[in-house]
Amino acid sequence: MDTALLLNVEGIKKTILHGGTGELPNFITGSRVGQPMHIIIGNMFKLEVWEILLTSMRVSEVAEFWCDTIHTGVYPILSRSLRQMAEGKDPTEWHVHTCGLANMFAYHTLGYEDLDELQKEPQPLIFVIELLQLLGQVEAPSEYQRETWNLSNTERMQAVPILHGEGNRLFKLGRYEEASSKYQEAIVCLRNLQTKEKPWEAQWLKLEKMINTLILNYCQCLLKREEYYEVLEHTSDILRQHPGIVKAYYLRARAHSEVWNEAEAKADLEKVLELEPSMRKAVHRELRLLESRLEEKREEERLRCRNMLASPVPASHQGTHHRSDPSAPAGQPGTGQPEDGLATSGSVDQDLGVTS
């Protein structure tokens, strides 16, 4: 076995356990390496030292790498993500809105005792890596379709308006699930960029504004898909940090209305009027709709009470009476186009003054 300082890189030692074949692959920036796990060379993988290790290897080689703590500080966060994937969980769930590092600060734990301990007291680590010999294992950037997570920072920023516009187009076509996916992809791009900025400074706030616009567009898709409680979650998250966003109050009011939270819906609509008096017509329409639905619900409850007090229905007639479900969402008036002028505006968010 050959032990040597690797490529004059401080804090790394390599031991070849099984020699590889051929010459070193041409690892240009953007090359994709690995199976079953892909690493994109030059794309700032969470544990950047792995790129250094891999680019020293030949196909079919197995090597052991000793890495000092200067290279392994973020390993506990990476390990957490890999463990979650092994458990069938999604470590990149977009609505958490944060990367692993931000999650650690938010919750003070990675969820695994050994990783918490390693996070507190970093230790040198040993990695055993095999570069498998499979067709297409080392692929140039032009040889595979790159997903948003493996784009460069510049490419991510360029992708955002394209994804946003495609989401708006799909929304207008009534393809709400597909539109949701486009908004989600754009949000992931921006969240990744935001983690590289200092919170609450100018560039961070600029990205935050773009993210909030996309989240609220996503919430409009959720309303169409009758995912009302998720709308409440996302809009409330936004308003805790940015209490002046009118569209968040408006969409939350509509979600509250759909789940029969009368007081909360009215309070949010009153806040909309306070912040944006020009939306008086839209607010009054929502209040009328809410009151109409509540009256229908009260009438059905009165009918149910009368039926309970009436004589028992003969067995031969039981099960023949049908009543509308008071918990079912009321139909929206009009043609079925996106509400509040969204169909005529050509944009998901024009009616509330949010820039597309």
DSSP lists the bridge partners of residue 332 as none
CA atoms lying within 13 Å on the CB side of residue 211: 26
198 SS3 class: coil
**Structural domains in the chain?**
12-92+109-131 (3.10.50.40), 153-280 (1.25.40.10)
pLDDT single digits (tens) 195-204 = 888 888 999 9
Q: Does residue 212 surpass a pLDDT of 70?
A: yes
Arithmetic mean of pLDDT, 13-17: 90
If pLDDT is split at 50, 70 and 90, which confidence band does 140 have? Answer: very low
> How far is Cα of residue 189 from the mean position of the Cα atoms in its chain?
10
- State the chain's mean pLDDT as an integer: 76
Arithmetic mean of pLDDT, 124-147: 62
Tell me what percent of the residues of the chain surpass a pLDDT of 70: 67
CA dist 116 and 97 (Å) reads 22
pLDDT single digits (tens) 214-237 = 999 999 999 999 999 999 999 999
pLDDT single digits (tens) 274-295 = 999 999 999 999 999 989 888 8
User: What is the model's pLDDT at position 172?
Assistant: 95
User: What is the model's pLDDT at position 348?
Assistant: 46
